[in-house]
Amino acid sequence: MVMMPKRVKYRKLQKGTRRGVATTGANLAFGEFGLKVLENGWIKNNQIEAVRVILARKLNRGGKMWIRIFTDKSITKKPAEVRMGKGKGDLSHWVAVVKRGRILFELGGVPEAYAKQCFRLAVYKLPLKTKFVTRTQR
């Protein structure tokens, strides 16, 4: 399952910026535990899918998982050994732009130790530094 938009206004996008801090999506909204990113960057659709598969297998219908990011930015790449010019390259893959502080995944309905163990396995598949966060009790 490839995470990509159904329709886009423009097929090929400019590079854009990765600086700044996340203003939206920085707090837990659905589950009790989450995985928060600590640096800015891009996360590919296959990396999100790898994490989804790991969490789904570990949960085994025991808890609930939420994916809080979506790959809506297209990345193009020119083939190897092609000279400069002749236009922008073909679409290579899709990425989600994440800024530090953003919640990537959430888990609910499982004990804290188990959620920590699940996220520890998931972190190996991600290219950015992350930390485990819990919902603060009021």
pLDDT band at 138 (very low <50, low <70, confident <90, very high): very low
pLDDT for 2 beyond 80? no
pLDDT for 46 beyond 90? yes
Say what the pLDDT of residue 135 is.
Answer: 87
Helix axes 45-59, 112-123, angle to 10 degrees: 150
Q: Which positions ≥6 away from 90 have C-beta within 8 Å? A: 76, 77, 78, 79
CATH number for the 33-79+88-134 domain, one of 3.90.1170.10, 3.40.309.10, 3.30.450.20, 3.20.20.140?
3.90.1170.10
pLDDT for 73 beyond 70? yes
- Mean predicted confidence (pLDDT) in 36-41: 96
- Mean predicted confidence (pLDDT) in 50-71: 93
Q: What is the mean pLDDT of the chain?
A: 93
pLDDT tens-digit readout, 87-110: 999 999 999 999 999 999 999 999
pLDDT for 134 beyond 90? yes
Say what the pLDDT of residue 1 is.
Answer: 67
Say what the pLDDT of residue 77 is.
Answer: 95
Delimit the domains of the chain by residue range.
33-79+88-134
pTM: 0.90
Q: Which positions ≥6 away from 5 have C-beta within 8 Å? A: 70, 72, 94
